[in-house]
């Protein structure tokens, strides 16, 4: 498990589910199975359904009759569970973002630190790759991508540099991409800059924010009253969506209200502020530094 992915905020997130030993739970981001393993320890005769669209996760499946694996995108949470005959669940856990495994396998193209083709697909059967985006998206679309998903002030300059480079040669590798944008990177903040560039492209390749929104909507429908939603996010775009959804049942910045100004509040917030990793956990697992855990209970 640790070779594939070290689970972040493991104790805090599983405890946040407030597990009923006879309940039904869902781990929508199975990965290395760290969170699922802890959930199974707390279950008695209950059931655990786990999702992952990456076929590499199949090697980590536990041999447990209470465990059911669904190889698919968590955006279809409700449909898959209904197909399995599940009408309501007691808790849903999501550990968003990219697993350590994806960064540690260079050929997947998720990190600027390794030479690889521009791929970045979590589901390797998907048609859209990072190479397609970099070489075929029009400049205005690239600008919006870097501005909205990378939160980069240099979005216009980034897109212009890519446009200039690809006019003479197709950009097919991580090193080529870094080569055509490295002059734009702020001095002494290059790593953070490249991370944001790759984050923006990865979000687009995998439709991460759209998938997250669909999963959150499905979770509200599938959770029984008193059921818990537990989400760990790693960047402000995800965390903002999760925060808004837990507050008023949608991911927008403004709640939907009636003519009297009253809006829906489908959840009771268990965490008013996000839970973050301890100094010890960050030291042992640097990825935990940016983790934000939020927990809510359906009313």
Per-residue three-class SS string for the chain:
CCCCCCCCCHHHHHHHCCCCCCCEEEECCCCCCHHHHHHHHHCCCCEEEEECCCHHHHHHCCCCCCEEEECCCHHHHHHHHHHCCCCCEEEEEEECCCCHHHHHCHHHCCCCCCCCECCCCCCCCCCCCHHHHHHHCCHHHHHHHHHHCCCCCCHHHHHHHHHHHHCCCCCCEHHHHHHHHHHHCCCCCHHHHHHHHHHHHHHHHHCHHHHHHHHHHHHHHHEEEEEEEEEEECCHHHHHHHHHHHHHCCCCCCCCCCCCCCCCCCEEECCCCCECCCHHHHHHCHHHHHCEEEEEEEC
For residue 252, the number of C-alpha atoms closer than 13 Å in the C-beta half-sphere is 6
Q: What is the pTM of this model?
A: 0.92
CATH superfamily assigned to domain 10-100+208-298: Vaccinia Virus protein VP39 (3.40.50.150)
Nearest alpha-carbon partner for 32 in 17, 54, 12: 54
pLDDT at 116: 92
Q: For 15-25, what is each residue's pLDDT tens digit?
A: 999 999 999 99
Is pLDDT at 26 greater than 70 in this prediction? yes
> Span 279-295, mean pLDDT?
94
pLDDT at 286: 87
| Alpha-carbon distances of 40 from 12, 26, 33, rounded to whole Å | 15, 11, 10
Question: Structurally, what CATH architecture does the domain formed by 106-206 represent?
Answer: Orthogonal Bundle (1.10)
Dist. CA 182–CA 97, nearest whole Å: 25
Is pLDDT at 30 greater than 80 in this prediction? yes
Beta-carbon contacts of residue 128 (< 8 Å; ≥ 6 apart): 121, 204, 205
How many residues are present in the chain? 299
For the chain, the structural domain boundaries read 10-100+208-298, 106-206
Cβ atoms 86, 24 nearer than 8 A: yes
- Strand 267-269, strand 223-233: pairing: unpaired
Q: What is the mean pLDDT of the chain?
A: 92
> Span 120-126, mean pLDDT?
89
Is pLDDT at 265 greater than 70 in this prediction? yes
pLDDT at 111: 87
In the beta sheet, which residues pair with residue 233?
A: 292
Q: For 40-94, what is each residue's pLDDT tens digit?
A: 999 999 999 999 998 888 999 999 999 999 999 999 999 999 999 999 999 999 9
């Amino acid at each position: 498990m640790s070779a594939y992915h070290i689970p972040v905020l493991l104790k805090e997130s599983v405890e946040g589910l407030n597990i009923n030993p006879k309940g039904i739970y869902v781990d929508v981001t199975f990965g290395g199975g760290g969170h699922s393993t802890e959930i199974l320890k707390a279950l008695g005769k209950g059931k655990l359904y786990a999702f992952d669209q990456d076929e590499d996760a199949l090697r980590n499946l536990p041999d447990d009759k209470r465990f059911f694996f669904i190889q698919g995108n968590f955006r279809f949470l409700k449909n898959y569970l209904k197909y399995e005959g599940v009408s309501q669940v007691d808790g849903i856990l999501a550990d968003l973002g990219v697993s350590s495994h994806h960064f540690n396998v260079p050929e997947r193209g998720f990190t600027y630190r390794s030479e690889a083709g521009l791929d970045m697909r979590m589901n390797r059967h998907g048609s859209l790759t990072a190479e397609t985006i970099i070489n075929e998206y029009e400049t205005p679309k690239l600008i919006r991508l870097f501005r909205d998903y990378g939160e980069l002030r240099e979005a216009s300059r980034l897109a212009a540099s890519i446009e200039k480079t690809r006019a003479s040669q197709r950009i097919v590798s991580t090193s080529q991409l870094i080569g055509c944008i490295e002059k734009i990177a702020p001095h002494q903040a290059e790593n953070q800059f490249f991370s944001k560039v790759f984050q923006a492209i990865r979000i687009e390749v995998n439709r991460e924010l759209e998938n997250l929104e669909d999963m959150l909507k499905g979770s509200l429908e599938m959770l029984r009253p008193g059921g818990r939603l537990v989400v760990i996010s790693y960047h402000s775009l995800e965390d903002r969506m999760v925060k808004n959804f837990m507050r008023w049942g949608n991911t927008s910045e403004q709640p939907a209200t009636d003519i009297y100004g009253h809006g829906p509040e489908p959840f009771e917030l268990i965490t008013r502020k996000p839970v973050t990793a301890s100094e010890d956990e960050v030291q042992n697992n640097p990825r935990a530094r940016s983790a934000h855990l939020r927990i809510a209970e359906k009313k």
